[in-house]
Chains A and B, each alone.
Chain A
Amino acid sequence: MAFPLNSSLLNNRRLRAGLLAAPLVLFVAVTFLAPLAAMLVRSVHEPAVARALPQTLGALAQWDGRELPGKAVFRIAGSEFVALNERRALGSVATRVNRLESGMRSTLLGTARALAAEPPGDSWRQAMIAADPDWAEVSSWLALRRAGEAVTPRHYLNALDLDRGGAGEIVRQPEDRRIYVSLLLRTFAISTAITAICLLLAYPLAWLLAHARPRRAGFLLLLVLVPFWTSLLVRTTSWIVLLQNQGVINDLLVALGILAEEQRLALIYNMTGTIIAMVHVLLPFMILPLYSIMRTIPDRHMQAAASLGASHWQALRRVYWPQSLPGVAAGSLLVFILCIGFYITPALVGGRTGQLVSSMIAYHMEQSLNWGLAAALGGILLLLVALLYVIYDRLVGIEKLSLN
């Protein structure tokens, strides 16, 4: 009788362990995996137009796309517009079509109003073209049909400054509408620069931390951590106090006579401000992984290198640096990934020219409400980070990543 009891106890223990981990699994699923999945789905899936205009899109499916559609299509589309507008549902459809072909919002809404005011008898086609001449353009119908695709790569194309031509081929956006590729490249370049500056500043400091006498090292570590414990918002706004045109640094330079009153430096609300503030905010993320790796490198190694005839520089380059590489890689990866998606600091101190791709994502989330495009931009960032991860794994080996 004792054995079945034992085995049920064992099962019980496993069950309990599973239950203890369940809240975390659930939390991660709800707060991380689900939103991520929802975002990725949204970036390729937009069913609103397809749901609103099922008959029109069904009729357009057979259309060859070279000449204007037939009269039947005009009638189906026109009546569906009128019906939708009566339910006050045409506005959101019009907004979405407008993103593919500007001017289509007013075309759709105006046509619906005109058709409702004066119902056409037989000639829907004439009535619609009379209401808005855009209906005589093939491109308007193409835009309508493309907006109706529920599963679509257009957000990604859009995020990469691409578009589809009349025959569905991929073409570049007109020059004045290309913004995202250069913004992504700029984000990439700025993140690289910030990571490099952080590494340059953090490496000697982490070395000091790792090899100073324990009491001094403790004090230095505190200096690194105190800003870490201060609110990000406070730290960023204190940079405004320091860097602004009438700020501490400019005042000081003018008072010392280094700068004339009208020569005050533009240190903030531009790229300079973004870089300075972000380096400061992200520096601990570089120092701590470096420090944790450097602490494991014995001081004896530098002595051994010296006794073998290596100069300080040779010992640093050949003995110390290679051993600190896992920390360099971990810190750089961490800082770079944080940079790429950083929002608050550029938003506060970046002004017009110091913005990164995150501000564009926020704009599409909050202002233009083009969530599909915001999701696609986010998806591209995610892909870049995943790519970095793979490169890191190939070069260093992910098991060497140490952040403790």
Chain B
Amino acid sequence: MNDEGTTKREAAGTRIEFRDITKSYDGSTMVLPGVNLEIGGGEFMTLLGPSGSGKTTCLMILAGFEAPTSGEIRVNGKRIHDLPPQKRDMGMVFQNYALFPHMTVGQNLAFPLEVRGMAAAERGRRVGRALEIVRLEGFAERRPGQLSGGQQQRVAIARALVFEPGVVLMDEPLGALDRRLREELQLEIRSIQRELGVTMVYVTHDQQEAMTLSDRIAVFNAGQIQQAASPETLYEEPATEFVARFVGDNNLLRGTVRSVEGELCQVEVGGGVIEAFMVEPLAAGAGTVLAIRPERVVLSPSIEYSNSVAAGVEDMVFQGDHWRIRVSVFGQSDFFVKIPNFIGQGGILPGDQIRIGWTTIDCRALADNSPRAA
């Protein structure tokens, strides 16, 4: 029991640093133009982004299956470039599980222990405990082909944990499962990671999944990290337009900064003026994108809502716990308002002219980097 405590403490210490990592396959196009990221010991870090954004490449570089073109990776302060994958002490879970079909579940789990030359008795004990962790006791004699997708993924997770690596890498591990199973396994992965205190690097394109699991999320786009922050920070304070779009629902309005006053600014949008909170300093005359969360928009705003605009109700969709109302503001008809489902839903109908509003702090002015603005 004592030695387990030691490994846990050591595992909790595994820190990872990406320093100016670049990757290019053909020498001219950069898949990763330069990634910098620090992952703390025992942290659950998710690399989130659309497909082709470089998040999987980052993971493969960390695992040792691909070499970076330049830059360095340090694990607990040590460069690991010369270490082949098998010496990196990182458990990996693949999207398609990659269980060995010719071995039983027990043999799959024992494999990493056998190649380390562990004695049979200790092997049996560890395999039993790993199966317990993923709640698959009694499945040791089955073959992977006889298990359901969810069970196979649990085996894959157990196999990545059984040799007690300092870091566990997961590459879209739940991508092939249906929603219910995915949510169930998300909670399981989270609690296992918290319990073992292992550093986790998790790749997904599903922002909901990233929110559920992570201590911090690094949002990737076109090979670059847009923002690396906790789920709350990403949601409340997106640093770029991409993050504002990709993480959660957002309404985006393009406009021009008219005047700046401390952290606040006045923005001209389609003839109206909106007061917004600046994420980064913007100069008067600069193009900007305003991001407003649909659930922060209220109908018939009272006087304390600094922004109040006229809107036409286009469409209403019932979503169970809330209504999603599509309205047109400033000639734009893709503005959404999310209101809780209370009796009467405010008594509005499609075609109504209403007023909607939001506070200054809920309206974030981001730099407009789109080609149109330039």
Contact = CB atoms under 8 A, between A and B. Distances in A.
Contact of A308 (B64, B65, B84, B112): B112
| Most chain A beta carbons < 10 A, residue from B94, B100, B112, B160 | B100
B100 A307 contact: no
Interface residues on A, range: 10 to 19
A296 to B, nearest CB: 10
B92 to A, nearest CB: 4
Interface string A262-301: 0000000000000000000000000000000000001011
A311 B86 contact: yes
B163 interface: yes
Nearest to B92: A307
Contacts of B84: 306
A308 B101 contact: no
Contact of B65 (A303, A310, A311, A322): A303
A319 B100 contact: yes
21 contacts: A298-B96, A298-B98, A300-B98, A301-B98, A304-B94, A304-B98, A304-B100, A306-B84, A307-B63, A307-B85, A307-B88, A307-B92, A307-B160, A308-B92, A308-B112, A308-B159, A309-B87, A310-B86, A310-B112, A310-B115, A322-B102
Contacts of A36: none
A402 interface: no
A314 interface: yes
Contacts of B100: 301, 304-305, 319, 323
A295 B333 CA distance: 51
Most buried by B among A298, A304, A314, A318: A304
B92 A309 contact: no
B68 interface: no
A305 B92 contact: no
A67 to B, nearest CB: 70
B139 interface: no
Interface string B58-97: 0000011100000000000000000011111111101010
Given A303-B65, A304-B92, A309 B163 contact: yes
A329 to B, nearest CB: 14
Contacts of B111: 305, 308, 310, 318-319
Given A298-B98, A308-B86, 18 more contacts: A300-B94, A303-B63, A303-B94, A303-B98, A304-B100, A306-B64, A306-B85, A307-B63, A307-B91, A307-B160, A308-B111, A308-B112, A309-B86, A309-B163, A310-B86, A311-B115, A318-B111, A319-B111
Nearest to B115: A310
Contacts of A322: 102
Contacts of B159: 308
A306 B86 contact: yes
Nearest to A296: B101
A337 to B, nearest CB: 26
Nearest to B107: A318
**Residue of A300, A308, A323 with most partner-chain B CB within 10 A:** A308
Interface of A: 298, 300-301, 303-311, 314, 318-319, 322-323
Q: What 10 A-B pairs are tightest by C-beta distance, nearest first?
A: A308-B112, A307-B92, A304-B98, A306-B85, A300-B98, A310-B115, A322-B102, A306-B86, A309-B115, A309-B86
Contacts of A307: 63, 85-86, 88, 90-92, 160, 169
Interface residues on B, range: 20 to 34
Q: Which of A301, A306, A309, A322 is most buried by chain B, counting CB atoms within 10 A of its CB?
A: A309
B171 to A, nearest CB: 10
B91 A308 contact: yes
B116 interface: yes
Contacts of B163: 308-309
Contacts of A304: 92, 94, 98, 100
Contacts of A305: 100, 111
A306 B163 CA distance: 13
Contacts of A301: 98, 100
Contacts of B102: 322-323
Contacts of A306: 64-65, 84-86
Residue of A305, A311, A322 with most chain B CB atoms under a 10 A cut-off? A305
A369 to B, nearest CB: 53
Contacts of B116: 309
A95 B66 CA distance: 77
A103 B64 CA distance: 81
A303 B85 contact: yes
A402 to B, nearest CB: 15
Contacts of A314: 115
A309 B98 contact: no
Interface string B153-180: 0000001100100000100000000000
B319 to A, nearest CB: 38
Nearest to A310: B115
Contacts of B64: 306
A186 B240 CA distance: 78
A303 B88 CA distance: 13
Contacts of A319: 100, 111
A319 B86 CA distance: 14
Nearest to B90: A307
A314 B112 CA distance: 11
Nearest to A315: B86
Nearest to B100: A319
Interface string B107-121: 000011001100000
A28 B54 CA distance: 58
A214 to B, nearest CB: 16
A309 B109 CA distance: 12
Contacts of B88: 307
B216 to A, nearest CB: 23
A307 B93 CA distance: 9
